[in-house]
Chains A and B, each alone.
Chain A
Amino acid sequence: MTLYGYVRNDDKVGFRNKVLLLPAVDCVNDITYKIAQSFDDVSTFRFSTGCGMLPDDVEHIMHTQVNIAANPNIAAIVIVGMGCESINTEDLYERIKLLNKPCALVKLHSEGGYSNYIRKIRDLTNTYVEDISKYRREEVPISSINLGLECGASDPASGISANVVLGKAVDNIIDLGGTAIFSETPEAIGTEKILAKRCSDKHVADKIVNIITGYEKMIKTKTGKDIRSANPVPGNIKAGITTLEEKSMGCVLKGGSTKIQEVLNYAEQPSKKGLIFMNTPGFDAYSLCGLIAGGTQIIVFTTGKGTPCGTPISPVIKVISNTIAYNQQKDITDYNAGMLLDGEKNLEQITGELMQLIIDTANGKETKAELLGVNVMDIWPLNGTF
């Protein structure tokens, strides 16, 4: 299993080589989208905020934007702004420059008109695309992988096939010195004691318990409802899940069995290798964005029923839990872990095949979501816009 990647100036390794059109505010979404679609290897995403925000949210968004630009799959950045947004684009530009990647800032109100503005964004994008096309892959160790872990549209088989297999693959990658980040705090409610026992030290354990219990309290404050009384939902119970603890265990299983080395706030970058937990919502666009800001170059997404989910920056490998759903959702699914339940292949074979798929994807094999151009990603705001 030989791995080839793009070694960046900070020694981090990218497995895609892309120009990022980074929207500073939602007003520019259509512009960045249309320009990105006219090139290969140019990424952007639909950003729903950036203006009418309180100062703590502005700082939180800018921190996330810088870390998205820092993702090793990104080779160059064009910041696309208006000039009047809450985000301080000059400050954002200065911070992104420190990443030591080619970058530029273009503002509508500084370009003497819309057509000049569009032309400048296009020209810069074109120049960067040509520049980065000269970058070449080189052999890199498995330890350079930072794998994002995600699940959605789950079913009860997810917890006994797809998440078990992914957990084994994660254990393999971590044994070889790599990193994996799992997230989605609301889905860990009920497992905080189990996860605390699995932390590398007391500080890490305290942080994970605080984040999960804090999230549970936040839901109660905002909605007046106890999530434990609402979960498992009737559909889960009908499908055989009895308690919230059982449901959540089936979800956190995808992190494998190694110790949790670090607990991150949303969109933070890990300072350690191994298994990492990040505080994110369960909402896929926000959690995927958090993982990308956390530097994950590849994401594995387990599902029971199937989902089209993908991101513009990190390839998303969809692993489905059962053969019936796989046969219906082949167009959007990369691997069928349901073979384990059919008795068709054993755990070792399936884990080996998933590992190979992760390596092949890193080496350039396109995922179904990449082939379809699926783009699900947005920054989780603290309070939103007013």
Chain B
Amino acid sequence: MKKRALKISINDNIAVALDSLLAGERVNLYSIESQLIDKLTAAEDITYLHKIAVQKIPVNEAIIKYGEVVGYSCKNISAGELVHTSNMASKPQKNPG
């Protein structure tokens, strides 16, 4: 069965992995209404319930989950990458690296 990720709100730029993903695996992206809305490729290994970028997110851009801002990117993030403590923080960075 194809691996799955859940995009909770239509405005989100991340999804939550509903299966543990391996780098290079194809992932079906579902809406909260269980509709298949897109497909993407995991750029790295992503653990169950961790976040995967569903689009390119430039540095210091809002991370949207539940349709709300829950943090900011502190690096440029590509679609399919893990979004977690290495590239996301509560506040925008003053000197983005």
Contacts and interface: CB of A to CB of B under 8 A. Distances in A.
Q: Does B associate with A?
A: yes
Interface of A: 156-157, 159-160, 164, 190-191, 194, 228, 237, 239-240, 242-246, 249-250, 253, 340-341, 343, 346-348
Contacts of A244: 90
A237 B18 CA distance: 17
B47 A245 contact: no
B70 A245 contact: yes
A160 B6 contact: yes
Instruction: Bin chain B's interface residue count.
Output: 20 to 34
A55 to B, nearest CB: 41
A240 B49 contact: yes
B90 A157 contact: no
Contacts of A341: 6, 18
A243 B89 contact: yes
A346 B33 CA distance: 6
Given A242-B88, A253-B66, A346 B34 contact: yes
In the complex, which of the residues A159, A194, A239, A242 has the most CB atoms of chain B within 10 Å of its own CB atom? A242
Contact of A194 (B4, B34, B63, B68): B68
B50 interface: yes
A250 B83 contact: no
A243 B34 contact: no
Contacts of A191: 68
A66 B90 CA distance: 42
Interface string B53-79: 000000000010110111100000000
Contacts, number: 67
A156 B50 CA distance: 9
B34 A347 contact: yes
A245 B62 CA distance: 12
A243 B8 contact: no
Interface of B: 4, 6, 8, 16, 18, 30, 32-34, 47-51, 63, 65-66, 68-71, 83-85, 88-90
B20 to A, nearest CB: 11
A250 B47 contact: no
Contacts of A240: 16, 47-51, 84
Contact of B85 (A190, A194, A237): A237
Given A242-B71, A250-B66, A343 B85 contact: no
A157 B8 CA distance: 12
A341 B71 CA distance: 24
Given A157-B49, A239-B49, 11 more contacts: A164-B8, A164-B32, A191-B68, A228-B90, A240-B50, A240-B51, A240-B84, A242-B89, A245-B90, A246-B71, A346-B34
B90 A243 contact: yes
29 contacts: A156-B49, A157-B49, A160-B8, A160-B16, A160-B49, A164-B8, A240-B16, A240-B48, A240-B50, A242-B63, A242-B70, A242-B83, A242-B85, A242-B88, A242-B89, A243-B70, A243-B71, A243-B90, A245-B68, A245-B69, A245-B70, A249-B68, A341-B6, A341-B18, A343-B34, A346-B33, A346-B34, A347-B34, A348-B33
A62 B87 CA distance: 51
The 8 closest A-B pairs by CB, nearest first: A240-B50, A246-B70, A346-B34, A243-B71, A156-B49, A245-B70, A243-B90, A240-B49
A340 B88 CA distance: 27
Contacts of A159: 66
Contacts of B70: 242-243, 245-246, 249
Nearest to B72: A243
